[in-house]
Amino acid sequence: MCPHCQKAMVIFELEGIEVDHCLHCRGTWLDSGELDHLIELAEVNPGCFTDALHQAKKGSKKEICCPRCNRNLHSVHIHDDLELDECPRGHGIWFDQGEIRRLVESFKEGEEGAVASFMANLLKSELASETS
């Protein structure tokens, strides 16, 4: 279920990673295990990426709920300008439309770049249409 529209999400299997995607609001849900798997596949040291997640400022409670456990999601601020929604129990992360693209942009440099470009590749066509 999409946290925003309360509609069924479609699961895409991209390179062995399952991404839950809402076709109404173009939001994306990444299960924690999938995120794990994604970093593994991108073959980078997960340290920097997770550090960014850890250091990120925990924000306030949001109105939307985790599709797995139905608890309210909490916002997290990464690199100051990017706000993601995270399940308080660690079920995964919710990306609103456009947030994946911004995440990719803000992680362009260094080792995280590999993860970012990997992610960009996953939703190639959709990201392209967003920027145009």
Stretch that binds another protein, among 1-9, 56-64, 73-81, 107-115 (CB under 8 A): 1-9
Does the protein bind another protein through residue 45 (CB under 8 A)?
yes
If binding means CB under 8 A, how many residues of this protein chain bind another protein? Answer: 35
Neighbouring C-beta atoms of residue 92, cutoff 10 Å: 21
Question: Could you say which of 29, 39, 42, 94 contacts another protein (CB under 8 A)?
Answer: 39
Does the protein bind another protein through residue 6 (CB under 8 A)?
no
Does the protein bind another protein through residue 71 (CB under 8 A)?
no
Chain positions 92 to 121 lying near another protein, rule: CB under 8 A, are: none
Residue 5 neighbours by CB under 8 Å, 6+ apart: 22, 24, 25
CA–chain centroid gap for 131, Å, is 18
- For the bound state, the minimum distance from the C-beta of residue 110 to another protein, rounded and expressed in Å, comes to 16
Does the protein bind another protein through residue 90 (CB under 8 A)?
yes
Binding site for another protein (CB under 8 A): 7-14, 16, 18, 21, 23, 32-33, 35-37, 39-40, 45-47, 50, 53-54, 68, 89-91, 122-126, 129
